[in-house]
Structure formats: structure tokens, C-alpha cells
């Protein structure tokens, strides 16, 4: 999704020679006898693909069962969800569910509901950030909000009808602020360039996307849309701290079809959590600007899925994308 191909591939190939050696085995699109199908909707090298592979790296050993990557593209994740629903509820498959799936569900691209899915574990949680030019007055979060009460700020996003403009709309709406002016770009680089030039006021980005410029002191994070502050940018407050209850992230986690045996669900959850506690996975998170707090179990992950879908549904309606 939003992570650059270079960063993600770098994370993959720096982690371990073992992963490189097993890569061909994991790319098969057909289910081997007795193997768990790990369903994704993304092509090779994307954030969803890499996150899934990094989970599989150790989960196959922990569960003592082969796991085969099965790609089902289309509909922003709708095809992958529909495919999962065609399978038995036997715990012999997982689906990597993402922010994009929430958008597709909110837009009615599939009839699959959250109640049809059994959450297992979250793999990445990359909060939305409001990034500004470090020379701008709105670097200070309180000034950011007070300024937004009197004028519309220009928010740079990588697309429309997704989490970026939903983040801006939800924040300004719940904060009683002026409606944002959305300026959509084709990629992250133009957002950062235009922030530095002063052509836009705010960039809606993730930490990994802006980390280089943040470390250089060119760009600063004004507000974080998360429950808690992020360790690497601990001075940046959350929207909730500031009295605006908006929590939105680019997320990737794992589910299976509802109805799988409870014992099997627990086994899958425990196996994934153990796999993602390994240093291989922790190193991967570090490479993309995150840390081990990204990984949580079924209960917290399921609750976040509900919040994500509710927010997407409400704000995409406010933006006029749905009735």
C-alpha cells in the first residue's frame, strides 16, 4: 500500500539469508495438501505481501505446518475476502486484512461483513501522521488546531477516497475545525516536496515515509492519529490527547473465516504472536519505522477492525463516495 517498494524490499532482503532461500516456496498460488493458505490481495513487494511473508517466516515453524501464499487480486481486497468465504471454516487459511479492505467494505464492493471473519493477530500498525514543514508555525500541535479553527489548511494525500483524506476529514469534523482542502498527489515524494516548498500546509503520511526528513529536521510531526505516542517521535502528541478522538492507521493483520474451531483459532493466534515476537520480525518492523507494539492479539485487533470500518464508512459517506 503506502510503503515504498524500495523500503519494503530492503527490509525483506536484509533480514536473513534463510528468507531469501525460502522465497520461491512461499510464492506458490496453489494450496498444497495439508498447507495453510495465506491469502493476500497484493502483488510481490507491496506492504501486505512483505508483512505476510515476514509472519510466515517463523509461523510455519511454530505451527509445524506449511503455509502457502495465495494471491487473489481485485476490488481493493474484495476478491480476497470473497475467496476466503468460499473456503470451509476449518482454520486452514488466513487472510491478511488491511485498511484497503475496510475501504472496499465501506464502499460496498463485497457482501462480506466483519462478523464473517475471526480476527487472529495484528502484524503492523502504522498510525497516520500530520506532517508539516519544521519552519511552519503549525509545527506546534495547539497552534495547528487553533489555526485550523480560522482557516482551511491544505492537506497533501496520496489519493482520494481512502485513509488519507478520511484522516483529514475525520480530524477536522470531530475537532469542529474548518474543512480541509485536499490536494491529491501521485505518490509520497511530491507531498514531501510540496511541504518543503510551502505549497501545502500538511502532509498525511506514515512514519516510514517521512522518517528521513524528520531525522534531517526538514519535516516535523505535528499530530499523531493513534491511541498512544510513538516512541521514535515521542514529543508529538496524539489527536486524542488534544481532545479530538480520531485513531486511524495503515494496518495489516490476519483473520480466518468465522466458525473455525475455537481450539484451532487459539492455535493460529498463538503461533502468529510467537512468530512475530522473533527478532526476524522485530527487525522488519524497525526497518519500516515501527516497533513491537504493532503486534497484538485477536481481541485488540478485532476491536480496531471495527473502529476502522466504522470510521471509513462514516467519512466516505461524508465525502460523497457512498449514499
Cβ neighbours, 10 Å, residue 203: 31
15 pLDDT band, cuts 50/70/90, is very low
**Grid cell in block for residue 171:** 480530524
Q: Of 233, 259, 291, which residue is a domain's last?
A: 233
pLDDT confidence of residue 288: 84
Domain edge (last residue) among 199, 233, 267: 233
Shared-domain flag, residues 60 and 80 = yes
In a domain, 46, yes or no: yes
State the average pLDDT over residues 188-209: 95
In a domain, residue 221? The reply is yes
The CATH code of the domain that includes 49 is 3.40.190.150
The model's pLDDT over 84-124, given as tens digits with 9 standing for 90+, comes to: 999 999 999 999 999 999 999 999 999 999 999 999 999 99
Shared-domain flag, residues 154 and 255? no
Shared domain check, 214 and 109: no
Output the pLDDT for position 33. 59
Q: In 3D, which of 184, 185, 189, 153 has the Cα closest to residue 171?
A: 153
Span 130-141, mean pLDDT?
97
Burial 39-77 (b: 16+ CB within 10 A, else e): bbbbeeebbbbbbbbbbbbbbbebbeebbbbbbbeebbb
Co-location of 208 and 143 in the same domain: yes
- Tally the domains of the chain: 2
Rounded CA-CA distance 219/210 in Å is: 7
Phi (first) and psi of residue 185, to 5 degrees: -120, 160
**Please, are residues 46 and 29 in contact by the beta-carbon 8 Å criterion?**
no
The answer to the question of residue 242 being in a domain is: no
Q: What is the pLDDT of residue 34?
A: 82
Q: Is residue 244 part of a domain?
A: no
Residue 25 predicted with pLDDT over 70: no
Q: Is residue 241 part of a domain?
A: no
Separation CA 147–CA 202 (nearest Å):
12
Q: Which domain holds residue 145?
A: 127-233
Q: How far apart are the first and last CA of the chain?
A: 26
Beta-strand relationship, 117-133 and 93-98: unpaired
Domain annotation covers residue 226 = yes
Check whether 12 has a pLDDT greater than 50. no
Shared domain for 119 and 140, answered yes or no, is no
Whether 100 and 136 share a structural domain: no
Q: What is the pLDDT of residue 18?
A: 41
pLDDT tens-digit readout, 246-262: 999 999 999 999 999 99
Residue 121 host element (H or E): strand 117-133
Beta strands in 134-192 (DSSP E): 154-157, 181-184
323 is a domain residue: no
Distance CA 240, CA 229 (A): 10
Given a cut of 50, whether residue 27 has pLDDT beyond it is no
Does residue 161 form part of some domain?
Answer: yes
pLDDT in tens, 37-74: 999 998 887 889 999 999 999 999 999 999 999 999 99
Same domain, 44 and 106: yes
Q: Note whether 120 and 134 are same-domain residues.
A: no
Regarding whether 118 and 14 lie in a shared domain, the answer is yes
**Angle, to 10 degrees, between the axis of helix 47-63 and the axis of helix 17-26?**
100
Q: Is the domain of 62 the same as that of 51?
A: yes
Q: Which CATH number belongs to the domain containing residue 138 in this structure?
A: 3.40.190.10
Which of 233, 257, 284 delimits the end of a domain? 233
121 and 139, same domain (yes or no): no
Q: Are residues 9 and 38 part of one domain?
A: yes
Amino acid at each position: 500500500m503506502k510503503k515504498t517498494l524500495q523500503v519494503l524490499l530492503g527490509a525483506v532482503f536484509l533480514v536473513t539469508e534463510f528468507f531469501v532461500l525460502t522465497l520461491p516456496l512461499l510464492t506458490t498460488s496453489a494450496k498444497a495438501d495439508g498447507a495453510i493458505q495465506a491469502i493476500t490481495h497484493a502483488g510481490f513487494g507491496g506492504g501486505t505481501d512483505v508483512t505476510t511473508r515476514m509472519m510466515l517466516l517463523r509461523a510455519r515453524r511454530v505451527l509445524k505446518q506449511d503455509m502457502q501464499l495465495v494471491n487473489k487480486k481485485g476490488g481493493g481486497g474484495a476478491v480476497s475476502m470473497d475467496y476466503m468465504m468460499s473456503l470451509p471454516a476449518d482454520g486452514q487459511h488466513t487472510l491478511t486484512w488491511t485498511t484497503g479492505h475496510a475501504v472496499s467494505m465501506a464502499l460496498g464492493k463485497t457482501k462480506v461483513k466483519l462478523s464473517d471473519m475471526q480476527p487472529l493477530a495484528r502484524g503492523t500498525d502504522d498510525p497516520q501522521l500530520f506532517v508539516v514543514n519544521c519552519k511552519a508555525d503549525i509545527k506546534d500541535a495547539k497552534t495547528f488546531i487553533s489555526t485550523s479553527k480560522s482557516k482551511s489548511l491544505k492537506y497533501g494525500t496520496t489519493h482520494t477516497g481512502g485513509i488519507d483524506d478520511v484522516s483529514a476529514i475525520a480530524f477536522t469534523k470531530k475537532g469542529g475545525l474548518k474543512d480541509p482542502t485536499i490536494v491529491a498527489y501521485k505518490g509520497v515524494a511530491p507531498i514531501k516536496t510540496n511541504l518543503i516548498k510551502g505549497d501545502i500546509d500538511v502532509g498525511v503520511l506514515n512514519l516510514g515515509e517521512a522518517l528521513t526528513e524528520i531525522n534531517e529536521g526538514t519535516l516535523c510531526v505535528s499530530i499523531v492519529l493513534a491511541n498512544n505516542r510513538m516512541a521514535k517521535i515521542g514529543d508529538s502528541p496524539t489527536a486524542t490527547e488534544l481532545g479530538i478522538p480520531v485513531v486511524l492507521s495503515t494496518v495489516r493483520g490476519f483473520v480466518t473465516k468465522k466458525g473455525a474451531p475455537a481450539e484451532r483459532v487459539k492455535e493460529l493466534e498463538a503461533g502468529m504472536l510467537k512468530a512475530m515476537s522473533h527478532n526476524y520480525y522485530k527487525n522488519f518492523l524497525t526497518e519500516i519505522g515501527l516497533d513491537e507494539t504493532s503486534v497484538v492479539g485477536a481481541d485488540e485487533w478485532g476491536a480496531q477492525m471495527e473502529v476502522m470500518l466504522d470510521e471509513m464508512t462514516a467519512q466516505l459517506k461524508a465525502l460523497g463516495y457512498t449514499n
